[in-house]
Structure formats: structure tokens, C-alpha cells
Structure 1
């Protein structure tokens, strides 16, 4: 089994820290306890809210292309077989070198929120699993066009980071200032890392020399992959699930200010923090270079050349031989920022605009416009339009129904649920809460 993980690490040499998921429709759903995940200053109307393993969230996005765009480049050849036209695919895709595939899932194992006067307290236990694979068009261009003599193809645009961690959060917010215009809140989160794969370096290059040098090829690699918790999976699920040695700390901060009877503004910073990985750590490092000097034309035509394919393959393989070491390391949380303005169109109708950004080695921005309708304490619905991750056709919808027992479902792209083949962004949160 260990060799399977090592094989996976070879694929994961194209890796870097980067993972976060936005929930922009949820951000408008103040009647749902889980909206406090986007701003700890959320003040819910119900005095007590309880969630028991009942909030499920999934998120997936691909910034570079959709499934149907890929399928459109599949054609039938003269033998009747379906093949992917790589040349046409390279012409159609508009990759910018910073594209990525992201997936995440979370489960609120337990949630509690209660109000005491102007104060609100909360507790949550949440499992988080996230992964992101970054990619460029380097390999595709190499397959289609080959490597131009005198040039180097860099394959370090392929990155990945994956993690699973547990969060135990204690939240608090309070109404302050005259007429309770300002609400400030925060959440302190104790974190426990279950497993992680992270590439610190992933420099891989292929250089082809000029004709005078017989198109000599130089391959080199400088790779460092850090992992934690992977081998514990082999030892048993109990050892993995009960592991609490990889500790971390996180903080969420938020505020909401009622400027007038019509206007309210809010801001939040989510996931300021880190996880220190100490348990079950294995680091894989590889540095190497191989030069294939080519074959002399005279030897080639005379049949006198000596070419040992096995020796060449062994030499190339040796470039990616990993030295295993141990040593703790630290990863940061995917920091997210929400800036919002809300305008009351009618007594229970609110329009909103939200600017969103996550920081994962650089800021990635998004924007959402929405309208939210509330009916009493038993119904709330929100419709949004979102631009994010180079995706511009995202129509979101959120619905929460019930008092005493609340059912809810929220998505940033309802079209993707009906036509997943055309979607770059798919997300969904659904569950139920007990309200008192």
C-alpha cells in the first residue's frame, strides 16, 4: 500500500498550498445558523439553534474548462474509435497558467448557538476536507508541438495541495453603540490536522538543445513534498480519526454596521490561522538531472550506434527517486474576506452586493449581487448572481423553511445542478437545524 502512496506523490509533484471555498449565497441567509461560517457577527433571530450532524457542504470548480468543452474535442477517427483531438483542444482552451481544479467538503458534526441579551454565543465541531490541483497548458503543448530546439518547457505550473482537519470553534458576538447599530463578533478555533499533502518545491524542466548539439535533451527536477497522516491510514481508521497531535489555531473576525434605516454594511475575515504537522510526517525530496546526448547521424545511418533504452529509462527514473526524511512543518489556513452592502428595498426585502477574495499565495476575487426575501420567522429565500473563478453564469438560490425544525438548501450555481457538464463552479450546502 505504501508504494501506492509513493506513486501518488509522483503525480503530486505538481503541487502547492492553495485551498478555499466561497459560499456567497449562504452569506445572505441570516436565518441559517451556518451563515456565521462566513461572518461571526451574524445575529440570528431564534434564541437557541442546534445542529446535529446535519449540515453538509460540497464545492467543486474548474477555472480552465468545462466537461462539455472537453467532450466537444472528441471525434471519431477513420477506424470508428472515439479519440480526443489534442491539437484542437490546445487551440480551444484559453489557460492562463494559474488555472486550478478545486474540491472541498465539510460536515458540521455539532453546532450550538444561543442568545443572552445583546450577546450571542456559539459552538461548532466541523470536519473539513479540501484539495486543489493547479495546472497549465505546458504538457498539452508538449504533446501537440513537441519541444522547440533551444527552448525549455517548465512543468512547475502543475500544483496540488490536500488536507483534512477537524475544527472546534467557540464564537461570540455582541450588539454595541447607540441603538445597537454595530455588531462585532469573533470565533476562536482549535484545529486538529488529520492528513496533509503539500509540495514546497515542484520545479521540473525539459530542455532541448540546438541542431548542432544533436538536439541534446536535459531533464531536471527539484521536488520537495511534505506529508502527514498518510501512513496512519494504513495502521487503521481508529488511529487516524483519533489523532490529535497535529494542532493548530484559527480565528474568524467580523462586524456589521447599520448605517441607516435602509443601509447596512458588513465585513469579515475568515480563517486566519495555521496547523502544525508533527505526527506521521514524511518528507519526500528529489533533486536530479539527466542529459541525453542524442545520436550522431553517421552512426544512425551506418547502424553502428550503441543505444541502451533500459539504461536511459533507469537514468530518467533516478531523477525522481525520493529521499525520505522526517521533520515537522506548518501550513496556513485559506484566508477569506467578505465585504458586503445591504439595502432594504421593502420591509422584508433586501438587496445586497458582496466582494469576496481568498488568499492562497495570491488574491483570487469574486463578486455577488443578490436579493433576499424573508417571511416571518419561518421562511427565507435568496437569489444571487456571482462572478468567480473565471465563471460568469452562476445563478444562486437559497431557501430555508420551518420553525422549530428548519430545512435549508443553498447553492451559488443552481444551473450547474441541472447542467453539470456546462459548469465551472458547483457548490451546495444542505441540512436541517432545530430552532427554539
Structure 2
């Protein structure tokens, strides 16, 4: 029956909508949590994004357009947790998947952030920065019945004859941020910093499925489906075409990207206290803000899943070879209707706080520790990082880190910055080993890379 179910999904329009919710981002390495290893990098200007009180080594820094990108992802399970091969065939371990997932509120997050352009200036006592950034954030929440239905099929033991309640919500938003920041020394011990972010929401898509499904009989296949599937979008125009396919008009995307109809604001705050020449402690709170989405360009669709019931097969017709109605082609008729009900919505950004300390073992060797926590609605993602860094001049540096989070206690990360006077390239990750050598075994992965032009020194000698 599982084979039939998979085959049905492959041949139907409904696959596009049933599968989009849990799977569309599960294999995408985009951003969910910050790259903790970046927090300690004084020779990388973008470290000010994790603590705006941080000073940088260079007097002037220009980020090369589009090159500074952060990617990461977190999920409830890794591929190796649920997938195995036997006799050359691949299988999903249904029992393992059932044991991993909770009955409600399984969460998958991803996003991408890119510094389009940035300018940083630093003196010994004061600094300012301005940058233009793009962010893309996605969240999917689903219950375990969604995967149970897809992997086991509607006639599996424990599923046949039992009503399966399926729920899934996906929220995706893209926005542009103009960041204006400063840092300054209050005295020899204390430094403060802040970044004001002027936000403009560009695109938003929300998908929500609340449904029940029951196959009553394993012979006649009589099936009942009930529920509702809704889609709501901003900045996408009319994104469902007449054939019920997801289709975004390029002109609508360009218009939403260049317009400023959805406004918001956020703030980052940071502080550093220098205990002595070797020890310092620091803290920051990031992304305290929200975006208000206008109802003017909002488009909503819904589909009544209750239209897809099947009364069953007549076994006599099957035995006699008469023409019969298939229980499954009805899913091909899944249709969405545009409906009114536009409303102004407020999206609170995912926000984080950091508490860290570092010790200068030598002039160029630093040891550090960081507790970080990302919060989004009811979701809390804590992490703890230990770090060691060796600076080799203004643009050269290497570092190693160990990070523990909800998904794993054994993330080994690192950083490297290379270049020559006036130019720097860097690569940073919290998942150097798992991300590079055990992709199938990781539940979370992140990286950040970029290139900067560096001029002068901010230090007084």
C-alpha cells in the first residue's frame, strides 16, 4: 500500500501541495541560528553584527558587494537517522522516524542572509557602520501524522480505519534591512554599541494545512478526507494560476522588491566590559523588532479538502473486469479559490542574545566562551561555544571551536581568514567536521563566508 501511496503522490497535482510543507526546505542549508564562531573574530568586520559594541582592527572596511553570505539550517532529524540501504535499495526507517518526531510541533528552520554592501569605520574610541542587507527566513511546523501518512500509507497497521489528523504550517519571508550602527568607549573599561535597522518586507508566503484522512477498508479503498488548505502571500501577486499550479509573475516580484510598502524596524544592542588586560566579558541582544505587512498587495487562496472523498470500489466490477473509478484521480482536481479577508499582519523577527567572555593568552592568541540563544515565537534554540583563535596580522587568522546545541553535543567548527594588505577573504563555520565530512549525519549546519577591502589600522600604538 505504501508503494501505491507514493505512486499516487508522484502522479498527482496534490503532491505539489502535500509535499511542499514538510520537505521544501528540509535539505536546504540556510540560516536558522547565528554562526557562533564569528562572535570572536576581531579581524572580521562582520563580527559587529553579533555584538555592535565590538571594535575592529582596520580603520576602514568595505564589504565587497554580495560576497558576504551566511547559510545554515536546523531540523528534527538527520538523513542517516531515518534512511538506510539494503541490497542496493534505499528505505525510510518508519519506526525510527516515528520515535524521533513528537506528536505535535516538530520544527524546521532555515534562512539566508546577505550583506549587499557595507562600510565600516573604526578609531581607537569610536566607530560607525552602514550596510544594506537582504534576509530570507523560513519556518515549518508539522505533526508526526504528516510523515506517518506519507511513509506508511493510509492502509498500514495502526493507520487503516483510524482517522489521521494532519497539520502543517509553513511561513517564509524575505526582507531588506538598512543598518546604521555605532560603537564607542564610555571609559577604559566599558564599551557600548547599537545598530538601528530600517526594514522593508519584500515577500511573504504562508501555507497552512489542517486535515483529517481515513481509509476505512483495505479492499474497496473507501476513503474520507476533510479539512482546509490555505495559502496567503504578500509581494507575490496572484501566485496560483488557472491550472492550480504555483506560479509567480516576474513583474510582481520585481515590483515588490523595489517597492517599500511593508515597513519595520529593529535594534541590536551590545556591551563589552574589560576586566583587565587579558579578560573581558560581553553581551548583546539582536534583532529586537518586527515588520508590518500591508494588506494592499495580499492575495489569499484556499482549498476545501472535503471535496475529495471516495465511496469505494464495487468488488463485483473488479472481478468482472468492468470499468471502475479509481480512488485517486480525484486528488488531481485539487483546486484553489481566491478569497477575501485581507488583513494587516505583524511579523516579529527571530531574536537572539549572547553572553561571552574571552581571555588574551598572548597578544595574538585568544581563548573564548559563548552562550547564545535564538528565540522565535515558542521556539528556543540555545547553544554553547568554546573557541581558540590565533591572529597572524590584520587579515590572516585561524581558529577552532566546539559548539553544543539542542541537536548535537559535538560540533567542531573553525575559521580561516586570508588575504594581503587591503584585501581579506574569510570562511567560518560551527560545523567543520559534520558539515564537510558527514552531511547525512548532521541535523544542523551553518557557514559564513565573504570578502572585504581593509584599509589602515584603528589602534593607537
Aligned residue among 408, 412, 415 for 1:395:
412
- 1:32-53: CA deviation from partner (whole Å, max 9, x where unpaired): 1111111111111222211131
CA RMSD of aligned residues (A): 3.8
Structure 1 CA distance for aligned equivalents of residues 38 and 394 of structure 2: 17
Structure 2 CA distance for aligned equivalents of residues 19 and 51 of structure 1: 20
User: Cα–Cα, structure 1 residues 289 and 387, in superposed 2: closer, same or farther, change >3 Å?
Assistant: same
Instruction: Give the corresponding residue for 2:119.
Output: 112
Structure 2 CA distance for aligned equivalents of residues 70 and 57 of structure 1: 30
Aligned residue among 154, 173, 187 for 1:163:
173
Aligned residue among 401, 406, 409 for 2:424:
406
- In terms of fraction of residues, the more strand-rich structure is 1
Q: TM-score, normalised by structure 2?
A: 0.77
CA contact under 8 A between 1:381 and 1:400: conserved in structure 2? yes
Q: Give the aligned length.
A: 416
Instruction: Give the corresponding residue for 2:240.
Output: none
- Superposition pairs of residues 121-270 of structure 1, within 5 angstroms: 121-142=128-149, 143-144=151-152, 145-148=156-159, 151-156=162-167, 158-177=168-187, 179=188, 181-199=189-207, 201-206=208-213, 218-231=224-237, 233-235=249-251, 238-270=254-286
Structure 1 CA distance for aligned equivalents of residues 316 and 14 of structure 2: 42
Structure 1 CA distance for aligned equivalents of residues 364 and 287 of structure 2: 31
Structure 2 CA distance for aligned equivalents of residues 117 and 261 of structure 1: 16
Instruction: Give the corresponding residue for 1:359.
Output: 375
- Superposition pairs of residues 19-34 of structure 1, within 5 angstroms: 20-34=32-46
Q: Which runs of 5+ in 1 are unaligned?
A: 77-81
TM superposition shift of 1:358? 1.4
Instruction: Give the corresponding residue for 1:55.
Output: 67
Structure 2 CA distance for aligned equivalents of residues 308 and 276 of structure 1: 53
Q: Secondary structure at the match of 2:255?
A: helix
TM superposition shift of 1:171? 0.5
Q: Secondary structure at the match of 1:85?
A: strand
TM superposition shift of 1:301? 7.3
CA contact under 8 A between 1:193 and 1:244: conserved in structure 2? yes
- 1:13-33: CA deviation from partner (whole Å, max 9, x where unpaired): 669xx9733111111112111
Q: TM-score, normalised by structure 1?
A: 0.81
TM superposition shift of 1:265? 1.6
User: Cα–Cα, structure 1 residues 9 and 228, in superposed 2: closer, same or farther, change >3 Å?
Assistant: farther
CA contact under 8 A between 1:255 and 1:268: conserved in structure 2? yes
Instruction: Give the corresponding residue for 2:452.
Output: 433
Instruction: Give the corresponding residue for 1:324.
Output: 339
Structure 2 CA distance for aligned equivalents of residues 12 and 312 of structure 1: 19
User: Cα–Cα, structure 1 residues 323 and 147, in superposed 2: closer, same or farther, change >3 Å?
Assistant: farther
- 1:201-247: CA deviation from partner (whole Å, max 9, x where unpaired): 53222357799xx9986533244432112236432664343222222
User: Cα–Cα, structure 1 residues 204 and 268, in superposed 2: closer, same or farther, change >3 Å?
Assistant: farther
TM superposition shift of 1:327? 3.6
User: Cα–Cα, structure 1 residues 227 and 367, in superposed 2: closer, same or farther, change >3 Å?
Assistant: same
Structure 2 CA distance for aligned equivalents of residues 310 and 70 of structure 1: 32
